[in-house]
Amino acid sequence: DASHIVLSFGADRIAFARKGDTEIWAAEANGQNPRHLLSGGPGETFQFLLWSPGGDRLLFERYSVGRLSRTVSPVGGSGTPAETLEQQDRWTCESIDSRSGKILDAEENIQFDSAYELSDGRLYYPTNESYAELKRARLMTVKTDLATGRFLGTPTLAANFNAGVASSISASADGKKVAAVLERRTADVFEASINPVGPPLGAPNRVTHRSGNAYPHAWTPLGDAILFESGRSSPDAIYEQKVTFVAEDRFGGELLARLPEPSAMAEFTPDGKWILFMEFSDRPQHPDAIYRVPAGGGAPAQVVTKGAIDEFHCSISGSGICVVRETLNRKQFV
């Protein structure tokens, strides 16, 4: 039932977890002379193991299932305070003597499932953070004490990965190169024909490729291209892509408008002369706004509005209009 099996730098010993990751063991490389080093407490498991360069200690992640605590939220419309249960899990990066099983150091609130330690004591590990639907992977580094594994400072950012998840960290012997396995997930745009009989949709065709997240919002009046926003270059900007197959590793799409803040939700005006889109901002002094740009591209210009913009939509009919919903005085929808 061994798991998390790792070979020492000298290739003469192995370390592994047992009994559902609740115990840490060490043995010779051929599996002989196994030694029990550590057992976890109730609700604790060991999620990761790593030999130090000298082979005299092991680095591991201890995960503790947190207790459920009740949180009371403010009184809502019902007049009754709402209670929710929250679980506070605990992650600890620890160092253990590979012979005696003595704990040498413990660093609280350090979470990773992959790491690499160099012979000079530098430790590299990834952090994978989530904000709503956004995932961000970073490479962190910290200098450690070679004898105990104790952190000699605060971990600092070594690099930003263009990915959502990073794992399987490794490094060259001289410490000049670090490698990682990166996981990238992007939203791409597809189009398909609508069939009057038979299957409702025809075979889908990919419109964008590896362009960062891309979200479609409208067709051109002629139906030969799609408007979408993409974060291929920060911040999100407005693009137009002809409905033809785009070769792999080629972005495709013509840039129509880019602003200092993220842009999205592009639509054509009913007469087909303008493209309207929203500019979004997290800054209170810079409220969301509607901009327009000529159908063929050009300089964006802000559309005059009165209140805070919620959303807008345009008719696909050539004789239709556009409708915008605004909030006036923070309480009146218009």
pLDDT digits (tens, 9 = 90+) for 189-203: 888 888 888 888 888
280 closest CA partner among 293, 268, 266, 294: 266
Cα–Cα dist 151/154, whole Å: 7
- Kindly state the tokens that stand for 237: 């900007």
- Kindly state the tokens that stand for 29: 């490389």
Range with top average pLDDT, 78-92, 110-124, 206-220, 273-287 = 110-124
213 closest CA partner among 281, 164, 149, 266: 164
pTM across the whole model:
0.60
Q: What is the pLDDT of residue 67?
A: 64
Q: How far is CA 124 from CA 52, 91, 127, 168, in A?
A: 12, 17, 10, 11
42 closest CA partner among 58, 24, 64: 64
Q: What is the DSSP string of 212-269?
A: SSEEEEEE-TTSSEEEEEE-SSSS-EEEEEESSPPPTT----EEEE--SS-EEEEEE-
Q: What is the pLDDT of residue 78?
A: 47
pLDDT tens by residue, 131-157:
545 678 889 999 999 999 999 999 999
Q: Is 131 helix (H, G, I), strand (E, B) or coil?
A: strand
Cα–Cα dist 184/25, whole Å: 35
Q: What is the pLDDT of residue 68?
A: 57
Q: How far is CA 281 from CA 27, 57, 238, in A?
A: 57, 49, 16
pLDDT tens by residue, 159-191:
888 778 888 888 887 878 889 998 877 788 888
Q: Kindly report the CA angle at 223 between 218 and 225, in degrees rounded to 5?
A: 65
Mean pLDDT confidence for 289-294: 94
Instruction: Supply the mean pLDDT for the chain.
Output: 85
Q: What is the pLDDT of residue 150?
A: 95
Q: What is the pLDDT of residue 248?
A: 47
Q: What b/e sequence results for 260-296 when a residue is b if at least 16 CB atoms lie within 10 Å of its CB, and e otherwise?
A: ebbbbbbbbbbeeebbbbbbbeeeeeeebbbbbbebe
Of the listed ranges 117-131, 183-197, 246-260, the least confidently predicted one is 246-260
Q: Kindly report the CA angle at 134 between 63 and 276, in degrees rounded to 5?
A: 170
99 closest CA partner among 38, 17, 32: 38
Q: What is the pLDDT of residue 175?
A: 79
Q: What is the pLDDT of residue 77?
A: 45
Percent of the chain past pLDDT 90, that is, above it, reads 46
pLDDT for 247 beyond 70: no
Higher pLDDT, 137 or 209: 137
Percent of the chain past pLDDT 70, that is, above it, reads 88
Amino acid present at 16: F
Query: Is-cis flag, bond preceding 262, omega within 30?
Result: no
Higher pLDDT, 206 or 32: 32
Q: Is 208 helix (H, G, I), strand (E, B) or coil?
A: coil
Q: What is the pLDDT of residue 143?
A: 96
Cα–Cα dist 44/46, whole Å: 7
Kindly state the DSSP code that residue 194 receives in the 8-state scheme.
Answer: B
Q: Which residues pair with 291 in a beta bridge?
A: 277, 302
pLDDT tens by residue, 34-83:
999 999 999 899 989 999 999 999 999 999 887 655 655 554 444 555 55
Cα–Cα dist 330/307, whole Å: 9
pLDDT tens by residue, 78-99:
455 555 556 578 899 999 999 9
